[in-house]
Amino acid sequence: MTEKRTTGHIAALITILIWGTTFIATKVLLRSFNPVTILLTRFVIGYLTLLLWQPGILHLAQRKQEWLFVGAGFSGITIYYLLENLALTQTTASNVGIIVTVSPFLTALLSMWFLKAKRANMWFYVGFIVAISGVILISDPATAAGQGSLVGDGLALLASFTWAIYSVLTTKIGELNLNLIQSTRHVFFYGLLFMLPIAYLLGFDLNLNALQQPQNWGNFLFLGIGACALCFVTWNLAVKRLGTVASSVYIYLVPVITLIFSVILLHEPLTVPLMIGAALTLVGLWLSGRN
């Protein structure tokens, strides 16, 4: 394994480690804020963090390259997170966690169609089936059955598709060899631009009284600085070093990370089905990564 690929794997693991806890943080914030308020606030914090981290203007060689950033901002920032947050208001975090793991499969298909990537081998699909089986076991069937909904699950599935589109676009952006932090910030810019009219229509309401509560502003900072600013940079680095499909299979780990932190932080019980599910997900990840 080359040094670049090692860096890519480390970046993907850091990203998923943080992203795996975002469902919990978002669920907490949804008690006091609506989805669009959470979305816009966290990405404003993320954008300002990236601006402080790497100031300056991003210079593109060709004007048409701007459309890659427009598409990435719209699909991966505005639409994906809006659909995910709306899904969390309609269905359980467990259901959303399961459905978003379809993204690697959709990403592989779009990469073959639009990036002319080589066809994924048999092990990718075997790993997908094994990992999804594990993710289903990790979910809480009793809770999901009582609180899930077709509308919420459908929104989560649409979110998975938009993330696959974003993954393809960020691969094309990575080929431009631009400053990683500045290019990520440029994607955020368009994402925020598209969010503004949606926030106006759906009702942006940053409740200042609720914001003063430590758990709320703490979760906003976690989502903005950690899950947005840091993780989008590390994820784009992973995509650049590993490729679209290879990096996307790390998404299988999101429910496993969520499970681990739920046990540690929320003291939820660790049952035999949960342990089997986590093991299957890890095996699925390993199988999907075989060449």
Q: What is the pLDDT of residue 117?
A: 65
Q: What is the pLDDT of residue 1?
A: 56
How is 192-252 classified by DSSP, letter by letter? HHHHHHHHHHHT----HHHHTSHHHHHHHHIIIIIIIIIHHHHHHHHHHHH-HHHHHGGGG
The whole model's pTM is what?
0.83
| DSSP alpha helix (H) spans, 139-207 | 141-147, 150-174, 180-202
Report how far residue 116's alpha carbon sits from residue 135's, in angstroms, rounded to the nearest whole number: 30
Give the total number of structural domains in the chain: 1
The least confident of 39-48, 137-146, 214-223, 252-261 is 137-146
Q: What is the pLDDT of residue 145?
A: 40
The burial of 112, by beta-carbon neighbours within 10 Å (0-12 exposed, 13-18 middle, 19 or more buried), is given as middle
Q: What does the pLDDT look like over 270-284, one tens digit per residue?
A: 777 778 877 887 788
Report how far residue 282's alpha carbon sits from residue 113's, in angstroms, rounded to the nearest whole number: 28
Q: What does the pLDDT look like over 239-258, one tens digit per residue?
A: 888 888 788 888 878 877 87
Of 130 and 69, the one with more pLDDT: 69
Residue 243 backbone zone (phi > 0: left; psi -120 to 50: alpha; other: beta)? left
Q: Which domain holds residue 61?
A: 3-288
